[in-house]
Chain A
Amino acid sequence: MIGLNHFLIFSGTLFCIGLFGALSKRNAIAILMGLELMLNAVNINLVAFARYVTTGILTGHVFAIFVIAVAAAEVAVGLALIVAIYRARISVNVEDFDWLKW
């Protein structure tokens, strides 16, 4: 029987894989993909809690849908930014991006 713990561990692991991708990749698009994984992990968490803890109340689902909407917006803006940066620098390698340096 698959219980709540399994889902939580799975989503935690997925989150960490996404985190690893976001932290360790050079390509900005790959980082974006990592972020998407993290958001997905969060959604799984929400739905899992809605299923096992507050059975019958679907607020978790609604929340997850909002997260999806925000994620879609985020991807759109993020990609636009990457394209703009790419145009300015002919690169999507984040190691070249050091504008925050003093």
Chain B
Amino acid sequence: MIDFALHNAWLIPLLPAIAFLLIVLVFRPLPKASAFVAITAMLISFILAIHVGIGVIQAGDAFVEHPLKYAVTWFEMSGLKIEMGVQIDPTSAMMLFVVALVASLVQIYSLGYMHGDPGFANFFAYLSLFAMSMLGLVIAPNLLQMFVFWELVGLCSYLLIGFWWHKYSAREAAKKAFITTRTGDFGLLLGILLLQINFGTLDLQELGRMIPNFTEYTTLTLGGLTAIAAILFLGPIGKSGQFPLHVWLPDAMEGPTPVSALIHAATMVVAGVYLVGRTLILFKTVPGAMAFVAFMGAFTAMFAASIAITQTEMKKILAYSTVSQLGYMMLALGAGSLTASMFHLMTHAFFKALMFLGAGSVLHAMHNEANIWKYGGLKKYMPITYWTFLIGCLAIAGIFPFAGFFSKDLILEVVWAASTLSGHAHGPFQGLYTVLYIMAAVTAMMTAFYMFRMFFICFHGELRDKHAHPHESPFSMALPLVVLGFLSVVGGLVGWPGLGEGKAFGYFVRLGEFEVVHANWFLIISSTVLALIGIGGAMAVYLKGAISHEAIAKKFAPLYKLSFNKFYIDEIYLWLIHNVLDGLGKLLWWVDLKIVDGIVDGVGQGAKITGSSLRRIQTGQLQQYALILFAGIVILVIIMGFADTSLAKLSLLGGVR
């Protein structure tokens, strides 16, 4: 079975694809049957993914250096060979597991959440399509295949955000998400093309072999490679919601909540992180790009956290929290640690999906009332949601022994190590990492604060909206919460410090040599203390009411306003688009209309006039045509005969020679 799974991993994305086709072509009028088909296919995929994972673990580190890869040629021409295939190594196996797990749970959850929705079958079709694309992205052995699926997940994201298309805001959000990510994707495509032009291959393994010694294979300078890395990084910036292209992610919460959990928390948005992780060797080769990635990550983390503090909608808070955590992952990659980044990716997928599904459960109970100030005291109405949500909050805040604690600590540790280790490969940017460490630590505190702010407002105190009648969610929604809650508790244990070869997470998912993680007590204690400060602060303000939150807001009014309005990034974009882009567009429109069109029309007119005068010649009589032909021959011969003798070779009157 394991062997079968390993060698037929292509089935994993194929099954949801089949489900998608079946639903679209056959089962669309039957909602229950579509859901059944989608969930069955997804569960089989999940089982296969588990077996792949087991196979990879059993193989030890054999797959780390030499991934299992099989592919068929997609198209080929000289200098360009593109394959379609599967690459199994611990990183992709881990991603397969996470994606398939979250996708399965979200589909089960949707059974309850989307119950009675007119687009029930469509929803499952989209979910299946998304699962197919995401799994295909994960196992892609080359960048082009990755790009194809990358765009496919973008499309699914668009479809699902705009799922309730009758809502104006949903439509707008879908467009915004699509266009914003496309902006980044353009850079990604450029980066891929540049890699292909310079290295002549897009295969991840070959690139991994060639890039560290790029001077042997190409004429690129270090600066050129840095530019390629930076351009390539635009894609992840868009997809993973890094500053300044993060604006689409909070708006994407217009989609149904399971979608937010699946796409905008656990899987699609981490595709950017995954891509950088896959091409980390490229970034590692150039310190400048590493520093860029790390800085973007840390800045985004802090920036998004500062916005999340003042938001009033549950899903918006979670969205900014997602942006912030994605920043963390980027930061880990920027510090050169694939392990830390992928570890956090995994635990984040657990607890963020858990929290989104919890939020969905709350929304379901409160009839889609979004403002958290209308909630309160939900603890007694929905105990399962309450406890699982608490687990999620503790996990993201980084409290021992929940999953987030291990992964977040690992990130802080690698950043700390990057700033202190002498002779590290970060070149002139080493000093930067100390700053980044401080930013990350502060962000951790802010994260704990805003998470528990939301938690206390929602679940404690009195129910503020007297008309609502909250109720616990049905079994199909509670089950995924419990499973994810369990994983959020124990998921971090695989990264227990001090685990040796063959056991630790970092032994499998890594780039370069394996290093046993040693507990750094200073970091552990400091980060726990910071998290506790954050929780305590939230408790003091929102649970006990010791300090009035309105007073604080008033005291720091400008800052509060800035944060509440998301630093006016949207407004800045709007202004830019209105004034600069529209002006440019108008100018170009005029040029196009008057000059370009004028030339084109002129050419057309000229041809028309010439044609109408020339058409008189066409009598339609073959005899005349033949006559003209022979007259032409005569004239030619005469010309040649009397022409200059230097054309003697052409001259026929001189006779055949």
Residues of A within 8 A of B623 (CB): 22-23, 31, 94-95
Instruction: Say whether B546 faces chain A, with CB atoms less than 8 Å apart.
Output: no
Instruction: Say whether B646 faces chain A, with CB atoms less than 8 Å apart.
Output: no
Which residue of A19, A31, A98 is within 8 Å of B619 (Cβ)? A98
Interface magnitude class on chain A = 10 to 19
Mask of B614-629 contacts with A, CB within 8 angstroms, 1/0: 0100111111001100
| Smallest CB separation, A77 vs chain B (Å) | 16
Q: How far is it, in angstroms, between the C-alpha of A9 and the C-alpha of B35 when the chains are bound?
A: 92
Residues of A within 8 A of B621 (CB): 94-95, 97-98, 100
Known: A23-B623, A31-B623, A94-B623. A101 touches B618 (CB 8 A): yes
- Is there contact, CB below 8 Å, between A23 and B622? no
Q: How far is it, in angstroms, between the C-alpha of A38 and the C-alpha of B627 when the chains are bound?
A: 15
Instruction: Say whether A52 faces chain B, with CB atoms less than 8 Å apart.
Output: no
Instruction: Say whether B4 faces chain A, with CB atoms less than 8 Å apart.
Output: no
- Is there contact, CB below 8 Å, between A19 and B618? no
Instruction: Say whether B590 faces chain A, with CB atoms less than 8 Å apart.
Output: no
| Smallest CB separation, B614 vs chain A (Å) | 11
Q: How far is it, in angstroms, between the C-alpha of A22 and the C-alpha of B627 when the chains are bound?
A: 9
Q: How far is it, in angstroms, between the C-alpha of A102 and the C-alpha of B617 when the chains are bound?
A: 11
Q: Which of A23, A94, A95 has most B Cβ within 10 Å?
A: A23
Residues of A within 8 A of B568 (CB): none
- Is there contact, CB below 8 Å, between B630 and A23? yes
Question: Quick one: which of A47-102 are within 8 Å of B by CB?
Answer: 94-95, 97-102
- Is there contact, CB below 8 Å, between B622 and A22? no
Q: How far is it, in angstroms, between the C-alpha of A94 and the C-alpha of B622 when the chains are bound?
A: 8
Q: How far is it, in angstroms, between the C-alpha of A97 and the C-alpha of B630 when the chains are bound?
A: 20
Chain B contact residue count (CB 8 A cutoff):
10
Q: How far is it, in angstroms, between the C-alpha of A100 and the C-alpha of B621 when the chains are bound?
A: 7
Which residue of A19, A22, A31, A99 is within 8 Å of B620 (Cβ)? A99
Mask of B593-624 contacts with A, CB within 8 angstroms, 1/0: 00000000000000000000001001111110
- Is there contact, CB below 8 Å, between B615 and A23? no
Q: Which of B620, B622, B623, B627 has most A Cβ within 10 Å?
A: B623
Q: How far is it, in angstroms, between the C-alpha of A99 and the C-alpha of B615 when the chains are bound?
A: 14
Among residues of B, the one whose C-beta sits closest to the C-beta of A23 is B627
| Smallest CB separation, B633 vs chain A (Å) | 10
| Smallest CB separation, A29 vs chain B (Å) | 14
Q: How far is it, in angstroms, between the C-alpha of A34 and the C-alpha of B619 when the chains are bound?
A: 22
Which residue of B615, B618, B620, B627 is within 8 Å of A97 (Cβ)? B620
Among residues of B, the one whose C-beta sits closest to the C-beta of A26 is B623
Which residue of A19, A100, A102 is within 8 Å of B622 (Cβ)? A100
| Smallest CB separation, B424 vs chain A (Å) | 79
- Is there contact, CB below 8 Å, between A98 and B620? yes
Among residues of B, the one whose C-beta sits closest to the C-beta of A96 is B621
Q: How far is it, in angstroms, between the C-alpha of A84 and the C-alpha of B139 when the chains are bound?
A: 69
Which residue of B620, B626, B627 is within 8 Å of A101 (Cβ)? B620
Q: How far is it, in angstroms, between the C-alpha of A100 and the C-alpha of B622 when the chains are bound?
A: 8
Q: How far is it, in angstroms, between the C-alpha of A22 and the C-alpha of B622 when the chains are bound?
A: 11
Residues of A within 8 A of B619 (CB): 98, 101
Residues of B within 8 A of A23 (CB): 623, 626-627, 630
| Smallest CB separation, B635 vs chain A (Å) | 15
- Is there contact, CB below 8 Å, between A97 and B626? no
Residues of A within 8 A of B622 (CB): 94, 97, 100
| Smallest CB separation, A9 vs chain B (Å) | 14
Among residues of A, the one whose C-beta sits closest to the C-beta of B626 is A23
Residues of A within 8 A of B615 (CB): 102
Q: How far is it, in angstroms, between the C-alpha of A31 and the C-alpha of B623 when the chains are bound?
A: 9
Residues of B within 8 A of A94 (CB): 621-623
Which residue of A22, A95, A100 is within 8 Å of B626 (Cβ)? A22
Q: How far is it, in angstroms, between the C-alpha of A61 and the C-alpha of B623 when the chains are bound?
A: 31
| Smallest CB separation, A26 vs chain B (Å) | 9
Q: How far is it, in angstroms, between the C-alpha of A99 and the C-alpha of B619 when the chains are bound?
A: 9
Among residues of A, the one whose C-beta sits closest to the C-beta of B623 is A94
Among residues of A, the one whose C-beta sits closest to the C-beta of B629 is A23
Residues of B within 8 A of A102 (CB): 615, 618, 620
Residues of A within 8 A of B618 (CB): 100-102
| Smallest CB separation, A48 vs chain B (Å) | 15
Residues of B within 8 A of A101 (CB): 618-620
Mask of A10-46 contacts with B, CB within 8 angstroms, 1/0: 0000000001001100000001000000000000000
Residues of B within 8 A of A99 (CB): 620
Residues of B within 8 A of A98 (CB): 619-621
Q: How far is it, in angstroms, between the C-alpha of A19 and the C-alpha of B630 when the chains are bound?
A: 9
Among residues of A, the one whose C-beta sits closest to the C-beta of B628 is A23
Mask of B445-463 contacts with A, CB within 8 angstroms, 1/0: 0000000000000000000
Q: How far is it, in angstroms, between the C-alpha of A97 and the C-alpha of B621 when the chains are bound?
A: 6
Residues of A within 8 A of B620 (CB): 97-102
| Smallest CB separation, B229 vs chain A (Å) | 61
Residues of A within 8 A of B626 (CB): 22-23
Among residues of A, the one whose C-beta sits closest to the C-beta of B611 is A102
Residues of B within 8 A of A100 (CB): 618, 620-622
Q: How far is it, in angstroms, between the C-alpha of A101 and the C-alpha of B622 when the chains are bound?
A: 10
Residues of B within 8 A of A31 (CB): 623
| Smallest CB separation, B265 vs chain A (Å) | 67
Mask of B62-90 contacts with A, CB within 8 angstroms, 1/0: 00000000000000000000000000000
| Smallest CB separation, A101 vs chain B (Å) | 3
Residues of B within 8 A of A97 (CB): 620-622
Among residues of A, the one whose C-beta sits closest to the C-beta of B625 is A100
Q: 7 A-B Cβ contacts within 8 A?
A: A23-B626, A23-B627, A95-B621, A97-B622, A98-B620, A101-B619, A102-B618
Give the top 8 A-B pairs by smallest Cβ distance, nearest first: A101-B620, A98-B620, A100-B620, A23-B627, A94-B623, A101-B618, A98-B621, A102-B618
Binding site for B on A (CB under 8 A): 19, 22-23, 31, 94-95, 97-102
With contacts A97-B621, A101-B620 known, what are 6 further pairs, Cβ within 8 A? Answer: A22-B623, A22-B626, A23-B630, A95-B621, A101-B619, A102-B620
